[in-house]
Structure formats: structure tokens, C-alpha cells
Chain A
Amino acid sequence: QSALTQPASVSGSPGQSITISCAGTSSDVGAYKYVSWYQHFSGKAPRLLIYDVNMRPSGVSNRFSGSKSDNTASLTISGLQAADEADYYCCSYAGSATYVVFGGGTKLTVL
């Protein structure tokens, strides 16, 4: 069982928007602004999409956005494209003892 809880799968049609939730606790997501999101194609290197809850690294499309409310973080992908079909993982700093925890991953299907 992963430390952070994500839906196993989400789906959407091209052009639509989807949101992936990431439920944590007051010891991780709720305690720090260090939430990040990753896109992962099987057999490839994961890619950083969002860090510090809502910051996008250079080169990441503004179709990807992040937010947080209390103990739950969210990733929103707008203007869905077929190329967005991948696994998405949330990650949070969880203090000096545990350090980092990931969510179980969400498989995005573009219909």
C-alpha cells in the first residue's frame, strides 16, 4: 500500500480536462509545499511535470497544472492529447525521517 493515495485510473476524451487526486496526511502533503508530479511512459525515464505544488519546470506545457488543498494535492491536465496517455505519480516530502513518499500511480487513458 502506497503512502499517498491516487485513483488507479482516469480517462478523458481529446480536448477535455481531467484531474488526478493525491490524498496524503497532515504529515506529508498537508505539512509541506514539496509536492511534485511525474509522467511515466513504460520503459522510459519518468519526467517531472510539477514541483512545489504548482511550479512547472522549463519546457513543461502549461496544460499541466497543480494545486493543493489541506491533505490532498491535484494534477489537472487540460486540452487532453493522445500523447498524454501515460502513468502519473504524485510525490511529497514527508519530513526528515521518512523523507519522500510516492503515490501508487494513476493510469491515464485518452479515449
Chain B
Amino acid sequence: KQEVTQIPAALSVPEGENLVLNCSFTDSAIYNLQWFRQDPGKGLTSLLLIQSSQREQTSGRLNASLDKSSGRSTLYIAASQPGDSATYLCAVCGAGNMLTFGGGTRLMVKP
């Protein structure tokens, strides 16, 4: 059974800092990995999708890496802004196109 863990569970940083969110998964047989953003009480916004054959993806200030063999992914956020405050969720896509989510990292960026 796939298990996904995200560390840290919560993070508070001053504006402008670069930060790294971590995601680990137990079964390396995945099709892809997605990072999502969730604002309080809202749905999920897809940030980045990394296919299993890829090592990283970049979008603006966001960079996500994938090491499938070790079961790890990181989301790097450069020059953090207060608007980046949200919960960030990592999800791996396995057999049956089913997503397994981690518990999320709650990020607070202070002005």
C-alpha cells in the first residue's frame, strides 16, 4: 500500500526566503507525481506535474524534483511572498490513475 509523507507539517518563514518542502513515498512504481496548493476551505490547484521518467519541472518561482528510486520529491519555492501562504500537498499517481496524498505542509510567509 502506497504511503506518502510530507515534512515539515507546518512552516513559518519571513518574506523573501527560499524554502524546500519535502515529500516521500514508499512504493516507487508510480506514473507521475503532482504538487498542489490548497487555500483554506478551497479546492486544489495543480502547481507542477512530474512524469515518472522526469527528474524535475519548473514553473516560475517553483521547482519540483523527483527521485523515484529513493521515493522522494522536493518542492523548492524561491523568494517566498505572503501570497504563497497556503497548504501544499504532494500526491503520487499509481496503478489505476489513483492519487495518494500526503498530509500536506502548511506554509505561512510573514511580511
Partners in one complex: no
Chain B residues proximal to chain A, CB less than 8 Å: none
Chain A residues proximal to chain B, CB less than 8 Å: none
